[in-house]
Structure 1
Amino acid sequence: MNTPLLLFVESNTTGTGRQFAQRARALGAEPVLLGADPGRYPYAAEDEVRAVVVDTADGDALWAAVQRLAAGTRVAGVLSSSEYYVATAAELAARLGLPGPSADAVRACRDKSVQRRTLAEAGVPVPWFSVAGEVAEAVAAAQWQGAPVVVKPVQGSGSLGVRLCRDTGEVVSHAKELLGVTANERGLSTPARVLVEQYLTGPEFSVEVFGEDAVVTVAKHVGAPPVFVETGHDVPAVLPASEAAALVDSAVHAVKALGLGWGAAHVELRLDGGVARVIEVNPRLAGGMIPELVRRARGVDLVGAQVRAGLGLPVDLTDTSDAAGAAAIRFLTADTDTVLGDTDAAEAAALAVPGVVDAALYRPPGTRVGPAEDFRGRLGHVIAVAAGPGEAGRAADTARTLGLATALEPASAKETMPV
């Protein structure tokens, strides 16, 4: 009997993409990657994942490719580890009569303006916001709210295009830039609208939801404004009971209000005077290697759970007793324009810190780097585990400092580089 297929529509370039394929094989399914350019995912070739080249932005071409696959072997599920293609995967699954979320709900959720309106109408606490299709509308909204405000695209991921604007001039400049963008980094068309929203300064968290159940609350570290680069995460977050309950209540309420409730959802929130306001709901697993932190800290395999759900198998999210208890990740970022030096030595220095279980630099020595504007500017990561979040966080902070000190060339090296 042929091995059933689990189809993946595109992938994320870092993080869980490889893990999705590994979990599929462990469950007896063959992973098949459908992609316009499978070569952008090095793990596919390295792990010998079968790849089918197809224009994933062309619905008819994609459906034809799926039908050809289904004609020879049973397709057991369709998923995507990329936020940009979750709705596409859900639509294909529905056409095949396979498990998945509502494609309409996912598509609506991915438009942050539609999402915000839906949440506000359902009584979910959210920041004040306004939707603008022209620069003048963005300026009027910012003036009504009062600066500073956050201006960001209605679609996107990884903090791309999210910026704190402190005055009218900055609103004009950033809104004009965003409204002039017609396609995202994947080449997919983007709506010509932006969100202008209240700037919340309270601590930021995420609640990882599976189905309609909260799995864990994660403390988030964010870099300095005007950009909002995620620089680290701690699992689990340490909070007073009332604040922990408020975060979970808002997150689960949001997921239900948006008509999701199947598989994973990553809900980002900020505490604002004791109120847990939802910044956004992502109809997918968390990025930033949060699923790996949850696995190490709690023994809950969220990637495996999503794959099991996609295959129509039972899902068990029970904590395991052999988990570490807590885990933390810190991303390495440069403060100034500089050059990467000995990355192997940097990884070794980080791994020498007690509690550190993973360290990786993403770019080769000699690469010019600068301050991160979004997730693409992160240079590497370190992960630490411990019995408690404080201990894990301190180990990760120490490893990050050592890794950066070893990896980044001194200013003199940068200055002498030929242009």
Structure 2
Amino acid sequence: MGNRALIMIEGHRRIGLLFIQAAQRLGLHPITLSADPARYPYLAAESLENVHVDTDSLDALIHECSRLSKTYEIAGITAAEEEVYATVGKLCEHFDLPGPNAASVERCCDKFAQRQLLAEAGIPIPIYRLAANETEVKSFAAEIGLPVIVKPAVGTGSSGVRLCRNLDALAEHTTYLLGGKHKWTSLPRILVEEFARGPFYSVDTMEKEIIGVCTADFDRPPHFVFSRCTYPAPLTDDEYKCITEVSLNCLRALGLGWGPTTIELRWTIGGPVVVEVNPRLAGGTNPRLIKLAYGVDLITELIKLVTGNECDLRKKQSQTAGSRHLVPERDGILDWIDGHSRAAAVPGVDQVGCYVKAKTPIARNFDYLDSIGHVIAASPSPALTEATLQHAVELISWSITPFSTLDEQELRSAGSHPPASVDASTR
């Protein structure tokens, strides 16, 4: 038998390379199966083994894994992308490997089904309705009362999610979702939800254990593009207890608990209200922040879990870790971006990442891919971490030349800026 292999179903534009590196540290040979390996530039840059395969086809994936098993001992199968996580569960079941429960993941990924299960369990959630057309969206918004959140019933990364404060915004966004501009991964179904007002928190769990709670803010509403994140969230003991109890109740209601889960909440005047449950690790900077704040490497521990080993979730340190995301203020051509080296040299800065290069077209879709970079810092003090991040971000600047109207239309029809590997400066 050859090397022990970790099979990744699709990669991830932000944290995919971290999975690869963690697997290699554990002595595993990572192999990525993808419908389009070019989406993940780190595969070519690091000369990593990858296989072109239709990841929407379970039969094709079973066939490919069976073929690979003749050369490698398949130690585990996993993914970083939510869209294929239920498929991972089915593959793990087929090959008798540890993995998530596919049925639970599928129910959770359908936000309407998720809402129904949470409501049946008595978990506080926003008032919601499921709409199939413009008339129903308008009717349900009137029933719930503006402002409302309007979003696809299936989707990730805040794609297609908008806060609609008035009828004009409601009509505009409904037209966007149903008029052919939004890329649907399933039949078009729209959730219309009450807007839960209050501070935003996100809870990271692994194996039914609370790992951390962060607080986060968004860039330029009415969209929900993360601008900052901080671990641990500044909570009283009672608030922490309440949030963690609600989070664990979510796992029970949704049949989750194997592996990682991320629960998003708002703290309203009535207490915590669950906004969304994601049956996977949080992407972006969160895994790095958790490692800095608590000394727990969730990606490594997840790979241990999928390969049948015990994971170590003991917290080994206590720091305040935070990130700031660099979000462009307009569409256009990125003329230049500068200051990363100076920002990385600031004491307390752990990492500065840049996702795009000069002369790249920037066409915002108002989701997680809008960010063009990040800064991460950590220290024993919340105030010091905040000051460090502020200083570092102020050292980074860029210039964007707006598109002409014709150019903008052409670029938007072609999609937003292409994915780029993270060119990160790490202290």
Same fold judged by TM-score > 0.5? Answer: yes
Q: 1:76 to 1:368 in 2, by over 3 A?
A: closer
Give the equivalent residue in structure 1 for 2:351: 358
**Deviation string, structure 1 residues 2-46 (Cα, Å, up to 9, x no partner):** 2222111001112x2111111112222211100111121111122
Match of 1:174 in 2: 173
What residue in structure 2 maps to residue 33 of structure 1?
Answer: 32
Structure 1 residues 407 and 189, CA gap change in structure 2 (3 angstroms): closer
Give the CA deviation at 1:189: 3.2
Corresponding position: 1:395 with 2:394: no
Aligned-residue offset at 1:338? 5.7
- C-alpha RMSD of the superposition: 2.1
Are 1:269 and 1:279, in contact at CA under 8 Å, matched by a contact in 2? yes
Equivalent pair of 1:24/1:31 in contact (CA under 8 Å): yes
Tell me: CA distance 1:207–1:415, structure 2 relative to 1, closer, same or farther (3 Å).
closer
- Aligned-pair CA distance for 1:70: 1.9
1:367 maps onto 2:363 in alignment: no
Greater mean alpha carbon deviation, residues 217-226 or residues 387-396: 387-396
Q: For 1:128 and 1:317, how far apart are their aligned partners in 2? A: 35
The alpha carbon displacement at 1:180 in A equals 4.3
Question: Structure 1's 38 and 18: CA in aligned 2 closer, same or farther, altered over 3 A?
Answer: same
Query: Which whole-Å CA distance do the structure 2 matches of 1:399 and 1:296 have between them?
Result: 18
| 1:199 maps onto 2:190 in alignment | no
1:143 aligns with 2:122: no
Alpha-carbon separation, structure 1, partners of 2:202 and 2:180: 28
User: In structure 2, do the counterparts of structure 1 residues 27 and 339 end up closer, same or farther at CA, with 3 Å as the change threshold?
Assistant: same
Rounded Cα–Cα distance in structure 1 between residues aligned with 2:323 and 2:20: 23
The Cα of 1:182 is off from its aligned counterpart by 9.4
For residue 6 of structure 2, what is the aligned residue in structure 1? Answer: 6
1:268 is matched with 264
In structure 2, the partner of 1:77 is: 76
- The letter for the 2-side match of 1:387 is P
What is the CA–CA distance in structure 1 between the aligned matches of 2:182 and 2:72, rounded to whole Å? Answer: 35
Q: 1:327 matched to which residue of 2?
A: 321
Q: Tell me, what secondary structure is at the counterpart of 2:89?
A: helix
Which residue of the other structure, out of 347, 369, 372, is the alignment partner of 1:376?
369
4+ aligned runs moved over 4 Å, structure 1: 180-183, 413-416
Matches within 5 A, 1:98-109: 98-109=97-108
Whole-angstrom CA distance in 2 between matches of 1:189 and 1:395:
40
User: Secondary structure of 1:318's match?
Assistant: coil
TM-score normalized by structure 2? Answer: 0.90
AA aligned to 2:9 is V
**Identical positions, percent:** 35
Contact 1:335-1:371 within 8 A present in 2 as well: no
Superimposed CA distance per residue, residues 63-84 of structure 1 (whole angstroms, 9 cap, x where no aligned partner): 1111111233321211001111
Q: Secondary structure at the match of 2:217?
A: strand
Tell me how far apart the structure 2 counterparts of residues 166 and 30 of structure 1 sit (CA, whole Å): 50
Point out the more displaced range, 65-74 or 330-339.
330-339
| 1:209-288 mapped onto 2 (5 Å cutoff) | 209-288=205-284
In 2, Cα distance between equivalents of 1:39 and 1:27 = 26
Deviation of 1:357 (Å): 1.8
Q: Secondary structure at the match of 1:72?
A: coil
Unaligned runs of 5+ in 1: none
Instruction: Please tell me the residue identity of whatever aligns with 2:327.
Output: T
Query: Given the alignment of the two structures, is residue 305 of structure 1 paired with residue 301 of structure 2, yes or no?
Result: yes
Residues paired across the two proteins, number: 406
User: Take 2:23 and 2:49, find their aligned partners in 1: how far apart are those partners?
Assistant: 12
C-alpha contact 2:176 2:182 (8 A) present in aligned 1: no
Q: Which amino acid aligns with 1:407?
A: W
Letter in structure 1 aligned against 2:5: L
Matches within 5 A, 1:49-198: 49-181=48-180, 184=183, 189-198=185-194
Do the aligned partners of 1:182 and 1:192 also contact (CA within 8 Å) in 2?
no
2-side partners of 1:10 and 1:131: how far apart?
Answer: 30
Under a length normalisation based on structure 1, what TM-score does the superposition of the two structures give? 0.92
**Higher mean Cα deviation, 378-387 or 70-79?**
70-79
Counterparts of 1:241 and 1:408 in 2: how far apart (Å)?
Answer: 44
